[in-house]
């Protein structure tokens, strides 16, 4: 007896539309969180500009490279979650995105603190902007953070310009 239905040979891939929607919702919620944080902590625009200028140039290059890689759905998400389907794949994608957000936030807020000399609300805002930029859908071909770096560096008259981060406490 022949089967009319096509047999399921394995788990289904998450389509690029589903990944786009997950990223869109996550980034929208993330930016809403940043705006809420700015309103409740009285973060001034000048503090954010100083924070953007204080991020070492190497971090901008690293984030742009990571963003290009993250936006390649077929290269990153498909091999990573090819053994999972449905809700499990969505949950794993969300966990990966949240983990990436917090790792970026942690790494950059420390770098900004070393460059400016103090940890403040603006450092958290700048680090969150970087982390959300990584997660934002289809930004891999644009170099928006580099444009922000150039603008912030010129606006601060190169006062916080650094190419590589300062490593203290290692006897360097």
For residues 68, 90, 15 and 128, what is the CA-based torsion angle, rounded to 10 degrees? Answer: -30
Kindly report, residue by residue over 12-39, the tens digit of the pLDDT. 566 778 878 888 888 889 889 988 988 8
Any domain includes 169: no
The model's pTM: 0.69
The pair of structure tokens assigned to 126 is 């700048």
Any domain includes 172: no
How many other C-beta atoms lie within 10 A of the C-beta of residue 4? 5
The pair of structure tokens assigned to 85 is 């389907």
Kindly report, residue by residue over 118-172, the tens digit of the pLDDT. 567 787 888 888 888 887 877 777 788 889 999 999 999 999 888 887 655 554 4
Any domain includes 171: no
Kindly report, residue by residue over 48-101, the tens digit of the pLDDT. 899 889 888 988 888 888 888 777 766 666 666 677 777 787 787 778 777 877
Any domain includes 98: yes
Transcribe the chain into DSSP letters.
---SSPP--SPPPPPHHHHHHHHHHHHHHHHHHHHHHHHHHT--HHHHHHHHHHS-HHHHHHHHHHHHHHT-HHHHHHHHTTT--HHHHHHHHHHHHHHHHHHHHHHHHHHHHHHHSS--HHHHHHHHHHHHHHHSTT-TT--HHHHHHHHHHHHTTTTT--SS----SS--
Q: What's the domain count of the chain?
A: 1
164 exposure class (CB count in 10 Å sphere: 0-12, 13-18, 19+): exposed
Torsion sign (Cα): 79, 81, 85, 87 = negative
pLDDT at 154: 95
Any domain includes 163: no
Segments forming the whole domain that contains residue 137: 16-155
User: What count of Cα atoms within 13 Å lies in the side-chain half-sphere of residue 149?
Assistant: 18
Any domain includes 8: no
Any domain includes 41: yes
Any domain includes 105: yes
Q: What is the mean pLDDT of the chain?
A: 77
Kindly report, residue by residue over 142-153, the tens digit of the pLDDT. 788 889 999 999
């Amino acid at each position: 007896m022949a089967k009319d239905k096509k047999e399921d040979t394995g788990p289904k891939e998450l389509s690029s539309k589903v990944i786009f929607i997950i990223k869109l919702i996550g980034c929208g919620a993330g930016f809403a969180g940043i705006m809420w944080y700015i309103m409740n902590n009285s973060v001034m625009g000048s503090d954010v500009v100083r924070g953007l200028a204080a991020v070492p140039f190497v971090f901008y290059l690293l984030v742009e490279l990571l963003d290009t890689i993250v936006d390649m759905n077929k290269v990153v998400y498909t091999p990573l979650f090819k053994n999972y389907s449905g809700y499990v794949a969505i949950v794993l994608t969300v966990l990966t995105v949240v983990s990436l957000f917090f790792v970026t936030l942690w790494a950059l807020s420390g770098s900004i603190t070393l460059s400016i000399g103090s940890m403040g609300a603006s450092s958290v805002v700048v680090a969150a902007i970087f982390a959300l930029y990584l997660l934002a859908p289809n930004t891999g071909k644009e170099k928006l953070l580099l444009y922000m770096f150039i603008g912030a560096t010129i606006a601060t008259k190169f006062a916080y310009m650094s190419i590589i981060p300062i490593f203290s406490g290692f006897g360097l």
